[in-house]
């Protein structure tokens, strides 16, 4: 329950709405508890007026509520016939029911609407916090988990801030009011009637605990089925090509079978819930009639009192039966809020520095003896890495897979902070530069060339804020993808991604290069962004974007060394250390790793040319 304390700020924010909602609950219940009294009065009145047997004039004082008493005084003060008074009482009961319903409507309008607002605020809070968290956090948590916290957990918390609070307040108000009026009428009968309640509460609690446990198990099985199905759809091409449909069906069937079993178990225990409720309510009614009947015979109470009590007990049936699921709503909300709090209390490792600087960026980059160990795996990706790049230089990072090339770029973007040494841009350490200013100054093309499910134009203009078609087109032309875009059904307005056109790996990479080129910035980073094109196309693209590269400092990570002759510096990484560095010619002369890579790729290129 302590986890739900996090919601206090929302209740404070919406305190007036909550207060008005609680007021409506009180008013609607007040009208609710008046109706049995009017019924009681009318039975009393008819017995008295028609001198029916069993009327106890000396029985307990009527003790009506002020409003009901005023109604009685008014109708009895006039010379109405019995029939008219009965009719007036009937209409009054109807009006009371309408008033009760009206205030219930207001109650829902305030409390449920408040819960929707809290849900909206909370989703925004979670989303905004996700955006602040660092790359390490995203490595450590699965996308599915992040999504389910944002959707499912926030919805479960809403069931607490809305329905649970509403039903609970309603229950407390109704019990307080009915018990008050019952007690005023006959304290002794009230005690008898309410005596099964502790047993009822205990049974509800026990049954509910089991229901809660079983529905949690059911939920977990459902998640497993969802993950199973999601993986099957995403990996459908692999499944089909490896002819593994049967095996996947087998997994699905096993999970579904477990779900069926769990659901049946849950249904069994749930089917106990309402009968046991009905049993206790039945016992209460029985006690009222039996003990009340005896008291009527002995002249202690009036017949009308029994009728009033029976109506009160029936009014309590629904709110009391709601105790179980209200309690489980609260338990679930507390568990969900706990999960949300785990993320909300996670502090991003990369934060904007206090007194952040915004130096004019020209593109000078320096790595000073930088070492880096990935926090989640403990892998040492860089050792004492030093590199100095002047503004406007073209630098290539090459090396075997896993040698640390992408890590260099991640440190430059400050997705991680180095564990040793320092990275500087234009002489200022990254830790002192405003994060948005730094990242705004770097155009980055990631390895996987991620594109959003949106039009090609908006994907290319992503980093520039507005879609300026001229710069979009010239960036796409430079990235050698303009002609292909024009051949798509709707040109630049063609949708890409899940529901749109499926781009080839090479097209995706070139669109994401265009996106980086369209963003005006002094530093350009291509992280193995041309891996899906052949060496000649890579050379052609690098020539095409030459005009863009000339204006910026560029870092190009590549496995293809054939296209690197025009680069100012080529750095060869090996197991996180610089193995060689220099220009294309000087590295060939050194006759080391680079020369070896060059020769083998040249031979391969010759073979494909033949």
Ligand X SMILES: Nc1ncnc2c1ncn2[C@@H]1O[C@H](COP(=O)(O)OP(=O)(O)OP(=O)(O)O)[C@@H](O)[C@H]1O
Question: Is 31 within 8 Å of 103 (Cβ atoms)?
Answer: yes
Q: What tokens appear for 446 in the block?
A: 């990631």
Which positions ≥6 away from 493 have C-beta within 8 Å? 455, 456, 457
Among 241, 271, 401, 487, binds ligand X (CB under 6 A): 401
Instruction: Find the shortest distance in angstroms from Cβ 379 to ligand X.
Output: 4
DSSP letter, residue 348: P
Identify which of 378, 388, 377 has the alpha carbon closest to the alpha carbon of residue 421: 388
Instruction: Find the shortest distance in angstroms from Cβ 370 to ligand X.
Output: 12
Q: Exposed, middle or buried, 275 (CB in 10 Å: 0-12/13-18/19+)? A: exposed
Judged by beta carbon, residue 400 or residue 544, the one nearer ligand X is: 400
Which positions ≥6 away from 186 have C-beta within 8 Å? 60, 295, 300, 301, 305, 309
Task: Tell me if 377 contacts ligand X by CB under 6 A.
Answer: yes
Task: Specify the stretch interacting with ligand X by CB under 6 A; choose among 94-102, 356-364, 373-381, 497-505.
Answer: 373-381
Task: Tell me if 404 contacts ligand X by CB under 6 A.
Answer: yes
Instruction: Find the shortest distance in angstroms from Cβ 416 to ligand X.
Output: 8
Among 139, 206, 213, 589, binds ligand X (CB under 6 A): 139
Ramachandran category for residue 77: left, alpha or beta (phi over 0 → left; psi -120 to 50 → alpha):
alpha
Instruction: Find the shortest distance in angstroms from Cβ 352 to ligand X.
Output: 22
Question: Is 524 within 8 Å of 555 (Cβ atoms)?
Answer: yes
- Total residues contacting ligand X by CB under 6 A comes to 15
Instruction: Find the shortest distance in angstroms from Cβ 404 to ligand X.
Output: 4
Instruction: Find the shortest distance in angstroms from Cβ 382 to ligand X.
Output: 8
Judged by beta carbon, residue 134 or residue 262, the one nearer ligand X is: 134
Q: Which of residues 235-264 bind ligand X (CB under 6 A)?
A: none
* Contact code string over 508-537 relative to ligand X, x by CB under 6 A: --------------------x---------
Judged by beta carbon, residue 308 or residue 527, the one nearer ligand X is: 527
Task: Tell me if 111 contacts ligand X by CB under 6 A.
Answer: no
- How many H helices and E strands in the chain? 23, 10
Instruction: Find the shortest distance in angstroms from Cβ 575 to ligand X.
Output: 9
Q: Exposed, middle or buried, 266 (CB in 10 Å: 0-12/13-18/19+)? A: middle
Instruction: Find the shortest distance in angstroms from Cβ 573 to ligand X.
Output: 6
Judged by beta carbon, residue 328 or residue 403, the one nearer ligand X is: 403
Task: Specify the stretch interacting with ligand X by CB under 6 A; choose among 114-122, 204-212, 400-408, 419-427.
Answer: 400-408
Task: Report residue 92 CA to chain centroid gap.
Answer: 48
Neighbours of 191 (CB within 10 A): 12
Residue ranges binding ligand X (CB under 6 A): 139, 374, 376-377, 379, 381, 399, 401-407, 528
């Amino acid at each position: 329950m302590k986890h739900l304390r996090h919601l206090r700020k929302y209740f404070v924010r919406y305190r007036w709405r909550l207060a008005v909602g609680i007021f409506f609950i009180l008013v609607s219940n007040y009208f609710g508890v008046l109706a049995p009294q009017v019924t009681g009065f009318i039975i009393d009145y008819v017995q008295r007026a028609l001198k029916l047997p069993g009327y106890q004039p000396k029985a307990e004082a009527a003790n009506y509520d002020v409003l009901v008493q005023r109604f009685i005084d008014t109708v009895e003060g006039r010379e109405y016939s019995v029939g008219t008074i009965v009719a007036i009482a009937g209409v009054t009961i109807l009006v009371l029911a309408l008033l009760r319903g009206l205030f219930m409507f207001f109650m829902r309008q305030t409390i449920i609407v408040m819960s929707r607002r809290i849900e909206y605020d909370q989703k925004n809070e979670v989303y905004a916090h996700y955006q602040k968290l660092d790359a390490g956090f995203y490595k450590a948590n699965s996308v599915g988990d992040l999504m389910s916290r944002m959707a499912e957990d926030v919805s479960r918390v809403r069931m607490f801030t809305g329905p649970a609070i509403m039903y609970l307040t309603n229950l407390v108000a109704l019990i307080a009011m009915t018990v008050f009026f019952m007690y005023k009428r006959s304290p002794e009968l009230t005690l008898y009637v309410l005596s099964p309640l502790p047993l009822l509460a205990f049974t509800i609690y026990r049954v509910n605990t089991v229901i809660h446990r079983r529905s949690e198990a059911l939920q977990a099985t459902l998640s497993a089925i969802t993950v199973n199905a999601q993986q099957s759809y995403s990996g459908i091409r692999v499944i089909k090509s490896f002819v593994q449909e049967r095996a996947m069906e087998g997994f699905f069937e096993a999970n579904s079978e477990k779900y069926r079993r769990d659901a049946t178990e849950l249904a069994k225990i749930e089917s106990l819930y309402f009968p046991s409720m009905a049993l206790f309510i039945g016992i209460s009614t029985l006690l009222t009639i039996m003990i009340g009947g005896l008291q009527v015979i002995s002249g202690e109470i009036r017949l009308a009192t029994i009728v009033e009590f029976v109506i009160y007990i029936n009014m309590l049936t629904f709110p009391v039966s709601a105790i179980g699921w209200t309690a489980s709503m609260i338990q679930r909300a507390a568990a969900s809020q706990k999960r949300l709090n785990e993320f909300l209390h996670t502090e991003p490792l990369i934060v904007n520095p206090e007194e952040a600087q915004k130096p004019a960026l020209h593109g000078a980059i320096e790595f000073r003896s930088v070492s880096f160990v990935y926090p989640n795996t403990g892998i040492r990706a860089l050792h004492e890495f030093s590199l100095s790049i002047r503004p406007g230089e073209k630098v290539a990072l090459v090396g075997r897979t896993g040698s640390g090339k992408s890590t260099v770029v991640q440190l430059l973007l400050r997705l991680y902070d180095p564990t040793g040494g320092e990275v500087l841009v234009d002489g200022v350490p990254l830790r002192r530069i405003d994060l948005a200013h730094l990242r705004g100054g770097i155009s980055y093309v990631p390895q996987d060339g991620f594109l959003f499910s949106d039009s090609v134009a908006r994907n290319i203009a992503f980093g520039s804020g507005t879609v300026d078609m001229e710069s979009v087109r010239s960036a796409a032309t430079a990235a050698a993808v303009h002609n292909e875009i024009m051949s798509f059904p709707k040109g630049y307005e063609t949708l890409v991604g899940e529901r749109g056109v499926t781009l080839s790996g090479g097209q995706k990479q070139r669109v994401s290069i265009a996106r980086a080129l369209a963003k005006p910035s002094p530093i350009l980073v291509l992280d193995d962004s041309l891996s899906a094109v052949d060496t000649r196309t890579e050379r052609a693209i690098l020539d095409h974007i030459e005009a863009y590269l000339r204006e910026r400092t560029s870092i190009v990570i590549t496995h293809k060394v054939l296209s690197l002759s025009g680069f100012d510096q080529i750095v060869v990484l090996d197991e996180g250390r610089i193995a060689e560095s220099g220009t294309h010619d000087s590295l060939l002369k050194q006759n080391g790793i680079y020369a070896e890579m060059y020769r083998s790729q040249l031979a391969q290129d010759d073979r494909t040319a033949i």
